[in-house]
Amino acid sequence: MKIPLSSPDITQAEIDAVVAVLRNGRLSLGKKLEEFERAFAGYVGVPHAAAVSSGTAALHLAIRALGIREGDEVILPSFTFIAAANALRYERATPVFIDIDLNSLNLDPNRVEEAITPRTRAILVVHTFGVPAEMNPILEIARRRGLLVIEDACEALGAESGGKKTGTFGDAGVFGFYPNKQITAAEGGMVVTENAEITARIRSLRNHGRSVSGTGSEHGELGYNYRLSELHCALGIEQLKRVESILQQRESVALRYHQWLHKFPALQLPLQEIPGGRISWFVYVVRLPRGTTAKQREELMCRLALRGIETGRYFVPIHQQRAYDDVPVRMPLTVTESLASRMLALPFFNSITHSQLDEVCGALEESLR
């Protein structure tokens, strides 16, 4: 594609940092891992962080470390990336899908209470597209009903609500560093928490259940190979150093899209700001005109692809995917299903030029006609 959907922003500083790790010979479980964890915890504002191999691994280990197990139910949106539900099923927990808010696209707090049963153990909140979810009512329900709260902030690094960063409200928060994220480590994830015991257990689980303080032959429980290499950590450290400038760049790109596309009344644009909070721009997703079918969206995407412009579908609801045919839907997901076929992600990355963005908007206008 001439204009890709996303593109990582890698500078010479990142390249030099990775090369330096290759030269020093310590490629795993070294000082860069510790440095990345400390720096990340400091940035989001929590005492503890544990780096793992992916955002999905972060979700899985947070769920396991919090004691969610077979037979437990966890409430979450269906309008999100499938990893959120997959991580629950790794532990044989049951995903319970509820609808989303029409404006924020986040889990609707008004639908949480009706989804709670005696088997409900937790609420998994996703900060969709970098827009902070409405945490106060969710936390109030969780406290009153004795539920855990896990935040999937993989798309929301740096987002804030009430002066507090996403990922720090619940019992554990998770982040991802895939190349399309605000900062990348090529791969990787992070679990953040106020709880030192949870962090210690995650650090053990990521390394085959090995005792953190013991020898290499001591394994206290079944664990996983979810380690994050020193190379990934070195890249992540350098990216994190300029995270604020990256977020500002992405905000500028979103603003230019707004300025270009607001003149098309048939399109509904994403939220530009939220009261008392900060959006961390992960993607730029527009809603196509009401009544647009999935087939019509595919035709539009093909027309744009012929122009060298890559676009994306965000998201195919989890409950509509074949891998989840065996998971019953207990309540209507009206907003989720009405919006899913209309969502279109446009090229969005730090270094997109004004001319590229203008070309995308011009091509979109012609294609819609």
Query: Which residues participate in catalysis according to the annotation?
Result: 181
DSSP conformation letters of 39-57: HHHHHHT-SEEEEES-HHH
Q: Are 357 and 346 spatial neighbours (Cβ–Cβ below 8 Å)?
A: no
Q: How many CB atoms lie within 10 A of CB 80?
A: 27
User: H or E stretch including 284?
Assistant: strand 284-287
Contacts of 287 (CB under 8 A, 6+ apart): 267, 268, 269, 339, 342, 343, 344
Q: How far is CA 65 from the centre of its chain?
A: 20
Q: Give one DSSP letter per residue of 219-231, joined into a string.
A: B-S---B---BHH
Paired tokens of 330: 């207990």
Collapsing DSSP to helix, strand or coil, 88 comes out as: helix
Q: What is the spatial order of strands in the sheet that 277-278 belongs to?
A: 164-165, 160-161, 277-278
Residue tagged 């404006």 (tokens): 103
Residue-by-residue DSSP string for 289-321: PTT--HHHHHHHHHHHHHTTB--B-----GGGS
| Strand partners for 176 | 189
Residues paired with 13 in a beta bridge: none
Q: Are 189 and 53 in contact (CB under 8 A)?
A: yes
